[in-house]
Amino acid sequence: MGREGENPDGNERSGGANDGDSFGRLANATRLEIVDALATDETPLDYTALFERVSVDDSGQFNYHLRQLVGEYVRKTDEGYLLDQAGLRAANVIASSSLELGANRQFQRIDSRCGACGSDGVDIGYRAGEGVVRCPDCERRLTRFDFPPAAVETYAPAAFADAFAQRTRSYIGLADDGVCPFCAHSMSTEVEPSAATHPDAVPVVGRCSACPAGIRAPVGLVLSNRPRIQSLVADSGVPFRETPFWEFEWCTFDAPVIRKTDPLVAELGVDVGDESASILVNANVEILELDH
């Protein structure tokens, strides 16, 4: 599982004509300090209080950089200065270090089951801006997905696995709802065997209509967001939401079987506790049949 590297439709990113200029307004350490200072206070800061929060000593330089932010990222009110919505988004980017790849995190063993082979231990690590889970026994990479660098360093291995699994689930849920989890434009999803990274995999690929981002996810993980599947899982009594998705065989890339190619029909067997079902989906990941 992971993000696609480019938009295969070649669509340009939509937005205002001055997107680059807007982003460029943040390309200064003093401006980033101003944004960070306003983000850490719940109430507006007056001029003096804000000036004292940044490292620049020259009031003229401070005034210049503050003016560059007002109207774009910062709002001036009678009570002082505060971030507008764009400023809050910029503060989130700063806090998450999302524009940096961050340091790699060595793989560490965690007490988590491999859904592909049933091994009782898997390894989790961090590479190039993505969390990665792999099984040392069957040598499968169970999942990899985007994760903010700054947050990685705050977690112990087990807590990192939990946060990574929950965040990935949420992002895949948005993609399945037709919303790009990275930019909020529309996203389409399809079952694409040709996009598999190993012979037996049958992935779902999501492509954004605007940004270069995309997703590649197991069919089972995508379907786990659907009410009919959630009802099946709930009946089993298994704590699915609290369990990393890679522990379930039906949430692995290899789980589906292609039954027809023209038009495409894939079959997925779902076994959770004492509950089981056979599900047929088409190329658009629509459920054609559910035999429970």
Would you call 182 helix, strand, or coil by DSSP?
Answer: coil
Sole residue written with tokens 């491999």: 114
Say if residue 279's pLDDT is above 90.
yes
Which of 62-71, 143-152, 249-258 tops mean pLDDT? 249-258
Query: Average pLDDT over the chain, rounded to whole?
Result: 88
Give me 86's structure tokens: 């764009």
Containing 221, the helix (H) or strand (E) segment is helix 219-223
Q: pTM (2 decimals)?
A: 0.73
Tokens 């379907």 belong to residue? 223
Count of residues making up the chain: 292
The pLDDT, as a whole number, for residue 96 is: 63
Parallel, antiparallel, or unpaired: how do β-strands 287-291 and 275-282 relate? Answer: antiparallel
- 248 in Cβ contact with 272 (< 8 Å): yes
List, for residues 157-210, the tens digit of each pLDDT value: 999 999 999 999 999 999 999 999 998 999 999 999 998 888 889 999 999 998
Model confidence at 66, in pLDDT bands (50, 70, 90)? very high
Share of the chain above pLDDT 70, in %: 89
pLDDT band at 132 (very low <50, low <70, confident <90, very high): very high
Position 88 pLDDT exceeds 80? yes
Residue range 211-221: mean pLDDT, rounded: 92
Task: Please give the single-letter amino acid code of residue 281.
Answer: V
What are the residue ranges spanned by the domains of the chain?
A: 19-96
Chain segment 234-275, per-residue pLDDT in tens: 999 999 999 999 999 999 999 999 999 999 999 999 999 999
- pLDDT confidence of residue 102: 60
Q: Which position has the token pair 């993505």?
A: 130
Dist CA 201 CA 255 (whole Å): 8
Separation CA 249–CA 230 (nearest Å): 16
Mind listing the pLDDT tens digit for each residue in 6-44?
A: 333 333 333 343 555 666 778 788 998 999 899 887 789
Long-range contacts of range 23-32, CB-CB < 8 Å, 24 or more positions apart? 25/68, 25/69, 25/72, 25/73, 26/73, 26/90, 28/65, 28/68, 30/54, 30/55, 30/56, 30/61, 30/62, 30/65, 31/65, 31/68, 31/69, 32/94
What is the dihedral angle through the alpha carbons of 257, 260, 264, 267, rounded to the nearest 10 degrees?
-30
Residue 259: its H or E element = strand 257-261
Amino acid at 41: D
Assign 5 a pLDDT band (cuts: 50, 70, 90): very low
Q: Indicate the residue type of 112.
A: S
* Structure token pair of residue 156: 């112990």
Contact 197, 227 (CB under 8 A): no
What's residue 149's pLDDT? 85
If one compares 167 and 99, the residue with the highest pLDDT of the two is 167
Q: What is the model's pLDDT at position 14? A: 34
Q: Which residues contact 15 (CB under 8 A, 6 or more apart)?
A: 210
Residue 266 gets the label, from left (phi > 0), alpha (psi -120 to 50) or beta, of beta
The CATH number that domain 19-96 falls under is 1.10.10
- Per-residue pLDDT at 151: 86
pLDDT confidence of 229, banded at 50, 70, 90? very high
Q: What pLDDT is stored for residue 216 in this prediction?
A: 95
